[in-house]
């Protein structure tokens, strides 16, 4: 795959996927809640939660970080899991292919920490696998669970002011196959597109 710019990938992603009406209603519900919180408090913390915090929740955090800058919104993006593993290398790879830069800030064979940024960014975020209630994740937050396991294993998240379940297909199914890069890119595109639609709606609602 030829490396593309983050800006082009983000804008084109939402034009190239199909979202059914049920999913649109869910995204609208989430964006309305975010907009109401934003209007009241002037800032919102989003915490993307998936069991291992290695793939989908990391993609959600990184794209929400990008979207906040793109739309000029004071929204902080975090992620976490019910277990600690690592920011999986194929997740890193698919984000690098669409223009994100990863700089190792704390090397660990088990769970390295990355400073993640993009062209023109004035700040970076710290990416690593952690529990959803890790001290790095600001409270209070809106919880967005991204996998079925997280939905089942996190019935109560006391720090969350609201919780929404926004599941994505796990690209892990392609690991070690010739479809690996394509599957991760498809998941990357799907999450980027839905984050675009979510933040675009928030931006409209608060304007």
pLDDT tens digits along 41-60: 999 999 999 989 999 999 99
Q: How far apart are CA 44 and CA 108, in angstroms?
A: 31
> What pTM does this model have?
0.95
Domain for residue 30, yes or no?
Answer: no
Q: How far apart are CA 57 and CA 67, in angstroms?
A: 15
pLDDT at 15 > cutoff 60: yes
Question: In this predicted structure, what is the pLDDT of residue 157?
Answer: 81
pLDDT at 3 > cutoff 80: no
Q: Could you tell me the residue range of the domain that residue 190 belongs to?
A: 44-206
Res. 1 pLDDT band, cuts 50 70 90: very low
- Whether 14 contacts 128, CB under 8 Å: no
Domain for residue 82, yes or no?
Answer: yes
- Whether 83 contacts 51, CB under 8 Å: yes
CATH number assigned to the domain comprising residue 86: 3.40.50.2300
Q: How far apart are CA 38 and CA 153, in angstroms?
A: 28
Work out how many domains the chain is built from and give that number. 1
Q: Which residue in 154, 149, 160, 121 sits closest to 54, CA to CA? A: 149
Q: Which residue in 120, 100, 117, 99 sits closest to 3, CA to CA? A: 99
pLDDT tens digits along 93-138: 999 999 999 999 888 889 999 999 999 999 999 999 999 999 999 9
Domain for residue 24, yes or no?
Answer: no
Domain for residue 75, yes or no?
Answer: yes
- Give phi and psi for 51, each to the nearest 5: -45, -55
């Amino acid at each position: 795959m030829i490396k593309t710019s983050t800006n082009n990938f983000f804008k084109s992603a939402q034009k190239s996927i199909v979202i059914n009406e049920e999913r649109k209603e869910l995204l609208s519900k989430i964006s309305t809640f975010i907009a109401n919180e934003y209007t009241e408090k002037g800032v919102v913390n989003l915490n993307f939660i998936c069991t291992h915090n290695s793939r989908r929740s990391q993609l959600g955090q990184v794209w929400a970080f990008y979207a906040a800058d793109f739309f000029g919104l004071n929204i902080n993006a975090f992620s976490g899991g019910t277990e600690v593993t690592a920011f999986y290398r194929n997740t890193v790879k698919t984000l690098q292919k669409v223009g994100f830069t990863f700089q190792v800030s704390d090397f660990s064979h088990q769970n390295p920490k990355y400073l993640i940024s993009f062209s023109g960014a004035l700040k970076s975020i710290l990416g690593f696998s952690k529990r959803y209630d890790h001290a790095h994740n600001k409270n209070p937050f809106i919880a967005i669970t991204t996998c079925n396991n997280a939905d089942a294993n996190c019935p109560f998240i006391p720090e969350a002011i609201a919780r929404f379940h926004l599941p994505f297909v796990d690209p892990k199914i392609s690991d070690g196959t010739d479809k690996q890069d394509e599957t991760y890119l498809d998941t990357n595109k799907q999450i980027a597109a839905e984050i675009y639609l979510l933040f675009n709606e928030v931006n409209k609602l608060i304007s």
